[in-house]
Amino acid sequence: MPEQDHAERSRAELGFSRWWLIAAAVAMMAVVGPYQYVWTAIEGPIAEQLAVPLPAIGLVFTLFVIFQAGSQFPVGWWRDRHGPRGISLLAGVLAGGGYLGVATATQVWQLYLFYSVGAIGVGIVYTVAVNTALKWFPDRRGLTTGLGTMAFAGGSALFVPYVRANATPTGYPDVLRSMGLLIGVVVIAGAVVLRDPPREWLERRATAAEAADGGTAGESGADGEATAQTARTDERAPTGGSYTPREMVRTWQFWLMYAMFVGVSGAGLMLTAKIVSFAVNLQLTAVTATAAATVLPLAGGVGRLVLGELSDRVNRRNAMAVSFTLCGVGLFAVVGFGLAGASLAFVGAVIVATFFWSPQYTLFPTVVADYYGERNSSANYALLYSGKMWGGLFGGAVAGGLVAVTSWPTTFLLGGALAVISGLAALALRPPRE
């Protein structure tokens, strides 16, 4: 179905352009992103305010990743059956309320509780936003998914300077209260806009996709345009996109992608959670540490958009291989320039590593939709996304333990190796065949 046909059908169904749904999803993702990207700037002041050593609250980031990723499968299952609106309204309360609770926490267990509650709200927003793109834009999956995931990372960059400027034991509660209120308002407003296509529309699209698979077979040599179309079709689920989560986990492609997801997210989340501490340990300046923390979400946001759009035009498997391998190379450079004390090059290496790590959150959902279809895309991608829990465990608690028994450079080099291995593994991916 041509892009114009998708646009006309969606306008007839919605009464307005489907791009307004992406705008709502982008706004929602932008305001909840700080949960992941701003923690490194506030953990020190929070520990000082609670009068505990920094390692005592080191579990917070790991709990965030576990609850944010772990909530997505039940949320995706619910959304595929009941739509996004009700669950998104709940997300506004949880994500906004989580920061309000952290602002008033006086004990460590309260910090764990409220950050985990907020993480569930973030997980809901993430699932809803990504799959809004997959369901309404089968013709532009890479670009629209990239816009949403870009906002999750890039939107946080708007908050980093504000948070860093007020990251004191007495100043951070006001910051978090303001951000909590903003999150609640934006997410609830976005929930009012969002909706899903009718189920019969998705079924008609699946039937059309199945017919296209059969109709394009053997036509790759006709001309340049036919070759490109066949290449894109070859990445789509041959059954027309009807895989359930149970059917998906029976394919070897899912488990290879799961291992890749764990490896790449572990490397990237380690960089996200530890970059300030890494810079400080190597005795780089405070300006360098702040610059690295600021450019990290910006580079991640741009990378998700650029690689997402590019993946609509090239083979996504190759896009994964190049992106993840270059992420690993970037992490190796972070270590090398950090040890050399080259501040500007260090920040540049952080940009490269993040630019090529972050697209995993655009590339994986689009490949899942390509391979397994969009009808159950929320639940299917959420199941794959649960790999972020293990990646977060490595990026948080495991990385901290490795630093203690080895060193900061060794730990970051291991993260780079995981990314490179994941990139090479992507070359083995093929669409599932029955």
233: confidence class by pLDDT, cuts 50, 70, 90: very low
pLDDT at position 227 over 60 = no
Residue-wise pLDDT tens digits, 118-159: 999 999 999 898 888 878 887 777 888 888 878 887 777 778
Distance in angstroms (rounded) separating the CA atoms of residues 50 and 65: 22
Cβ atoms within 10 Å, residue 340: 11
Any idea where the domains of the chain sit in the sequence? Answer: 3-200+235-426
What average pLDDT does this structure show over 75-102? 92
For residues 309-328, average pLDDT: 91
Task: Report how far residue 267's alpha carbon sits from residue 310's, in angstroms, rounded to the nearest whole number.
Answer: 23
**Does the domain spanning 3-200+235-426 belong to CATH 3.40.50.720?**
no
CB 1 within 8 A of CB 123: no
Q: Residue 408 in contact with residue 282, Cβ under 8 Å?
A: yes
Interatomic CA distance for residues 89 and 301, integer angstroms: 25
Q: Say which residue the tokens 């083979």 belong to.
A: 315
C-alpha angle 103/109/114, rounded to 5°?
A: 45
pLDDT for residue 111 is more than 90: yes
Q: What single string gives the DSSP state of each residue in 159-186? A: THHHHHHT-STTTHHHHHHHHHHHHHHH
Q: Which of 138-142, 293-297, 354-358 has the lowest mean pLDDT?
A: 138-142
Tell me phi and psi for residue 169, to 5 degrees: -60, -30
Longest dimension (CA), the chain: 71
Interior angle at CA 220, CA 214 and CA 224, nearest 5: 130
- What are the structure tokens assigned to 256, written together? 């290879």
Contact 246, 73 (CB under 8 A): no
Q: What six digits make up the tokens of 324?
A: 């993840």
- Which pLDDT belongs to residue 207? 53
If you search the block for the tokens 């005592």, which residue do you land on?
56
Lowest mean per-residue pLDDT among 87-91, 143-147, 156-160, 366-370: 156-160
Residue 201 has pLDDT above 80, yes or no: no
pLDDT at 231: 44
Q: Could you tell me the pTM of the whole model?
A: 0.76
State mean pLDDT over 100-127.
94
Say what the pLDDT of residue 208 is.
Answer: 52
Lowest mean pLDDT among 2-6, 23-27, 394-398: 2-6
pLDDT of residue 342: 95
| Average pLDDT estimate for 5-10 | 73
User: pLDDT per residue over 21-78, tens digit each?
Assistant: 999 999 999 999 889 878 877 888 898 888 888 777 878 888 888 899 888 888 888 8
Whether the predicted pLDDT of 385 surpasses 60: yes
Residue 240: predicted pLDDT = 45
- The pLDDT, as a whole number, for residue 250 is 93
Q: Are 88 and 125 in contact (CB under 8 A)?
A: yes
How many CB atoms lie under 10 A from the CB of residue 14? 15
Query: Mapping DSSP to helix (H, G, I), strand (E, B) and coil, where does residue 38 land?
Result: coil
**Residue range 233-256: average pLDDT?**
75
The pLDDT tens digits of the residues spanning 249-289 come to: 999 999 999 999 999 999 998 998 888 889 988 999 989 98
Q: How confident is the model at residue 1 (pLDDT cuts 50, 70, 90)?
A: very low
Helices assigned H by DSSP within 194-285: 199-216, 224-233, 245-248, 252-281
Provide the terminal-to-terminal Cα distance of the chain, rounded to the nearest Å.
24
What was the pLDDT predicted at 223? Answer: 42
pLDDT number for residue 4: 57
**Percent of the chain surpassing pLDDT 90:** 42
**Mean pLDDT of all residues in 292-306:** 85
| C-alpha distance from residue 329 to each of 297, 322, 353, 360 (Å) | 19, 11, 7, 16
The predicted model gives 314-343 an average pLDDT of 95
Quote the pLDDT of residue 121.
96
